[in-house]
Structure 1
């Protein structure tokens, strides 16, 4: 039987997840099972997909393109975020109820306290992503603006990305001001954006020695890009241009379909470009599935699956379409799955569309 958004069960589940985020209280496995039950009750398509495969197997990311799953048709979505794409049909989307949006914001801030601003008080947060009002459907614009608004220096924190590109003059003036006032800086943006910005700044002969504690948070990686830059190379550029030490450089992984982000958990090179392992928390965890059998692997390469207990409006386990390498300290994310590269992923896609039995 379908569960209404207003059902007390949903409110209790929301409270359980909120408590888990606030102080780690509660049992993640119990929340996981209740979210699976909710999805089974409210999504016949996913219920049938699990019948064809295994209960709890990640829903392939392509299922979020076009008509994206949303568990509460009785409650209009409060917000919808979309992935990039050239047409509406190839853009993924994630619908959030008011509760779902609140959980996402709590998750973002909980992780940011630990990874983005730990040990810093009112740092200057400069974002190489557009301001939220210019990109209302971009989840990264929302999340990074939330972090800056909550933790950042009120006068100097800003987005330095305009419709015409990165405003290097604005970036330079804010960095100059931070150096003059001896304020630490947190630079946040896409991995490839940092490469382009650093190239441009070095061509201008510009460099800074930012205050101790300054850091660079780069998101994503170089999958699908014409130029691949290793982690150590990117860190070396950050030191040359911004004076940021290697330990101040952290990579994060996020998806429009997820409410939480994964951050580097250990400074150990695992992937071919030196990718570091992403760690687990009580509320979000990466894992790797075998590319043929879809069984969970504790060591070695496979398909990246993410379990995000902060997702209440959609299936909370996603088969991301990325490749990962599992090691004891976490999962390094190493690139996108290419056509024909994974029989297991193809079987999952077939099952999702009713083509497998």
Structure 2
């Protein structure tokens, strides 16, 4: 597909740097033509390839739209699905599903985005996570697997959580004893589990930690600053050596911020919008609102996603995260998306 190849060339840095606006409108046309639920949704809002003049007008779907599995958001037939990532949830929750015809764009966005943002090469990576074989429908675990293959392809047994969810700290302790710097990849909850169970170990000098996810759900609830101070203390790293990732199953491209930085930064093929909750329009500079992400690596689904988070825009693809909307996606909004996406 010509559009897919152009996106890959952009990610690899081959050829001239394209116009984001031009590429975004091409991606929107592609998704409008091939993604029937999204076409209905966009048409109901009066947004079509003929009426749009720029990427900021591309309609965003709420993340809950990925839970409407009766009319999946994809640009290819069911028989072409090669992978499905699912959102986390309890057994009573309806889990969102993000289907992929091909994971090349997703994986290239992870690796090349990491480089384009200027993050350090992970050295001696370990993963406080299940392996991709144990959690094949987790987008985060697949991301970890992609990074492992890119930076430590010959490494084995780097996964510290088994198929039952049990943490085995022994391999990490053995690696620490060698005194070589370590890059530890984890969720916030995984780090808290190690701390609460007294399994955290001081990491060698030069180590750093990648963390993602929320800070609630273990025995106590912590604010981000308190959590990161606790992790830095127990794992004996500098607080500035904690890298936070903002990502979600519905996106292909993450955003990153080091502890102490005020903004998360994204790849060149992403843009963010902050929407005024009262007017539904783009918020004035410096004003908070609902965070929307336009991710062109989402070629096979929907590029524009309305998150459940509040933020302040700090650049075209960077933002200061304020936290989750306490009234995130009330049922009325979900019904509205359902009505617009449903063919009946």
> TM-score band (shorter)?
0.7 to 0.9
Provide, for residues 216-251 of structure 1, a one-character-per-residue CA deviation record: whole Å limited to 9, x for no partner.
Answer: 111122367774323332332233222221221110
Q: Is the 1:265–1:330 Cα contact (8 Å) retained in structure 2?
A: no
**Offset of residue 86 of structure 1:** 3.1
SS at match of 1:307: strand
SS at match of 1:252: strand
Q: Which residue matches 2:225?
A: 232
**Offset of residue 346 of structure 1:** 4.8
In structure 1, what is the Cα distance between the partners aligned to 2:223 and 2:40?
41
Give the TM-score normalised by structure 1. 0.81
SS at match of 1:187: strand
**Offset of residue 351 of structure 1:** 5.0
Pairs within 5 Å for 1:1-357: 11-23=1-13, 25-53=17-45, 55=47, 56-67=58-69, 68-73=72-77, 76-87=80-91, 90-98=94-102, 101-113=103-115, 118=120, 123-152=123-152, 154-155=154-155, 158-162=158-162, 163-177=164-178, 179=179, 183-201=180-198, 207-212=201-206, 214-222=207-215, 227-264=220-257, 267-268=260-261, 276-297=262-283, 298-327=285-314, 330-339=318-327, 346=332, 350=336, 352-354=338-340
Q: Which residue matches 1:3?
A: none
Greater Cα offset, 346-355 or 142-151:
346-355
Task: Indicate how the Cα distance of structure 1 residues 225 and 195 shifts in structure 2: closer, same or farther if over 3 A, else same.
Answer: closer
**Offset of residue 322 of structure 1:** 2.2
In structure 1, what is the Cα distance between the partners aligned to 2:76 and 2:252?
17
In structure 2, what is the Cα distance between the partners aligned to 1:289 and 1:198?
38
Q: Is the 2:117–2:266 Cα contact (8 Å) retained in structure 1?
A: no
Q: Is the 1:104–1:259 Cα contact (8 Å) retained in structure 2?
A: yes
Provide, for residues 54-94 of structure 1, a one-character-per-residue CA deviation record: whole Å limited to 9, x for no partner.
Answer: 63121111111141211111751111111123348701101
Greater Cα offset, 296-305 or 126-135:
296-305
Give the TM-score normalised by structure 2. 0.83
Provide, for residues 106-145 of structure 1, a one-character-per-residue CA deviation record: whole Å limited to 9, x for no partner.
Answer: 011113335696156xx12111121000011111111101
In structure 2, what is the Cα distance between the partners aligned to 1:209 and 1:249?
13
Greater Cα offset, 17-26 or 249-258:
17-26
Q: Where has structure 1 moved over 6 Å in runs of 4 or more?
A: none
Greater Cα offset, 257-266 or 219-228:
219-228
What is the count of residue pairs matched by the alignment?
324
Provide, for residues 7-48 of structure 1, a one-character-per-residue CA deviation record: whole Å limited to 9, x for no partner.
Answer: xxxx11111111111117322211110111111112333223
Structure 1 segments unaligned to the other structure (5+ residues): 1-10, 269-275
In structure 2, what is the Cα distance between the partners aligned to 1:266 and 1:300?
23
Task: Indicate how the Cα distance of structure 1 residues 75 and 16 shifts in structure 2: closer, same or farther if over 3 A, else same.
Answer: farther
Q: Is the 1:45–1:352 Cα contact (8 Å) retained in structure 2?
A: no
In structure 2, what is the Cα distance between the partners aligned to 1:231 and 1:170?
28
SS at match of 1:133: coil
